[in-house]
Structure formats: C-alpha cells, structure tokens
Amino acid sequence: MILLSYFQAGMAQKTDRVDDLLIHLNNPRSNYVMVAAHRGDWYWAPENSLRGFQNCIEMGVDIIELDVRLSKDRVPVIIHDLTLERTTNGQGNVSDWPLDSLKTLYLKDATGVLTPERIPTLEEAMNLTKSKILIYLDKSVDKVAQVLPILEKTGTLKQAVFVLDFPYAKAKAQFGSYLSQVIYIPAVADGMKDLDKYVSEYLSKLQPRAFQFRMKSADGAAYPLLKKVLPTSSKAFVAATWPEHTIGHDDQVSRNNPEAGWGWLIREGFTILETNRPQQLLTYLRGKKLHD
C-alpha cells in the first residue's frame, strides 16, 4: 500500500505540466523556446474553441492565446470579434446576447463551415486547460475585474498570462495582490511614451517573467530595449503572427524560410514566440533541440 501511495503521488505530480512550463518561464538563461498558439489550433478546429485548445495541449504547445469578451449578462466568453458573424452562425454584437443565447450558436471553422463546437465560457476554457498549459488572456484590458474571480474559482491563477501596456501603477491598482500570482507581461511597443522609464520601473518593482515586444522597425523605440531586458531575469516575447510586431520576421516569412523568420527572432534573443502555425514551429524547434 505504501508503494502504491508513492506511485499515485508521483503520477499526480506529473499531471501538472504547468509546473514544468513555469520552470522554463522562470529561467531566463534556458534555451527552451516557448510556443504560444494564436487563438488555439485554428487550422484543424475553430479558433477559440475547446477542441482547438485540446489540440494544442496534445501537440505540446506551451501557451494558448485566447480572446475574452463579455456576454450581455457580463459572463466572460471566448471569442475574438466584437460581433458574431465571422466565427458563428449568429448576428450582432456579442455583448447584446446573454450567455444562454450565445450557447445556442455554432462555431465556424477557418473556411466558414459550421462545426459542432460552441462558444466557450472562460470558466470552461480554464477547467479544460487546468494544470496542462499556460493561458494568455488577450482582450482582457477592460475585463480584469470579471476575469480574476474565475481564475480564483478554477484554481488557475498561476497559469494565467496577461499582456498589457499599463504603467506599473495602473497594473498594481487593477490587479492588487493578484499581480504577483498571475503571469503579468508588460507590452513594449513602438509609439508608447517614455519606454525606457516604463521598462526600468517594471524591472525594479515587479521583475516580470517576460516583456512582449511589438516592433515595427529596428529604428523604433521598442527594438533597442531588447538590450536592456535580455541581461535581466525577464524573457523576451514576440508575436510572430504580425510583420509589424517582428520587423517583418513573421509567420508568413517563416512559412517558406523559417531561418529568416523564427530563426531571426530566436537569434535576437526571443524565447517566447506566438504563432499562427504552432505545429510547424514546434517541428522547427524540435529539429534544433529548442523544445521537448
């Protein structure tokens, strides 16, 4: 019985992959490159669907990026657009539909064909992914008050990622004691004012696990701050989904020439890459022994 208890305890520990991911996230010198899937696995399942999230877990993705909106009755649901037409068989604004009505709709796949998948609530998404993968809660800039209680309820605070451009004082006011319990990643974007001061304040007062860079040009304000961040205990995160965030070294370039896209970003020091092509990126990284 004692041996069985030890075996069961060991199995229980191994089921929490999030702890392993946090080891990578908390180690700025690790060469492990983390993969964030933009809107889940939208190629083989509808974007922002539970099926797409499960696919990401099964393929070994590290982070799922999903989008939070509020229903008419103020329930956080997962859908990218403010309106329903592109991704569901509904019409109008998400915020005009109560949750029970949203749940009658079906999600479309990337070709516009209806599927059996429904719009998930944030609570459903967090319960599905609990202990399995990190969750980047996009579109949450004005919904922190609605999101945090659900993370508390589902026991998923430690795997929740927020990427926001709040000055430190605003982040502290919005999150309070939760700021140290979630994974808070400040955005560093061309066009933001006093970027050097902004980054310095975060480094001194929070020491974030990462900063997310949004770089239109090497001549912009964001790119030079890589040299400030990389020697610290913070990682560099970038969305390879967009050319305007990567100085043109994005997924589209990487599709035919991964070294010119993802390879360039990695050589620059980025160790968290958000992508529309998670399986292709994983294959590339595994070939270079930069991912399990």
Note whether 173 and 194 are within 8 A (CB).
no
Angular region, 25: left φ>0, alpha ψ -120 to 50, beta rest: alpha
Question: Is the confidence at residue 38, as pLDDT, over 70?
Answer: yes
Residue whose token pair is 């400030």: 228
Q: How far is Cα 77 from Cα 86, in angstroms, rounded to an integer?
A: 16
Note whether 171 and 148 are within 8 A (CB).
no
240-263 per-position pLDDT tens digit: 999 999 999 999 999 999 999 999
Beta strand pairing call for 63-70 and 76-78: antiparallel
13: pLDDT confidence band, cut at 50, 70 and 90? very low
Q: How far is Cα 109 from Cα 112, in angstroms, rounded to an integer?
A: 5
Query: What's the whole-model pTM score?
Result: 0.94
Question: Is the confidence at residue 25, as pLDDT, over 90?
Answer: yes
Indicate the residue type of 197.
K
Q: How far is Cα 17 from Cα 81, in angstroms, rounded to an integer?
A: 30
Classify domain 18-287 at the CATH superfamily level: Phosphatidylinositol (PI) phosphodiesterase (3.20.20.190)
Residue whose token pair is 């896209």: 261
14: pLDDT confidence band, cut at 50, 70 and 90? low
Q: What is the mean pLDDT of the chain?
A: 95
The pLDDT assigned to 9 comes to 44
Q: What are the sequence ranges of the domains in the chain? A: 18-287
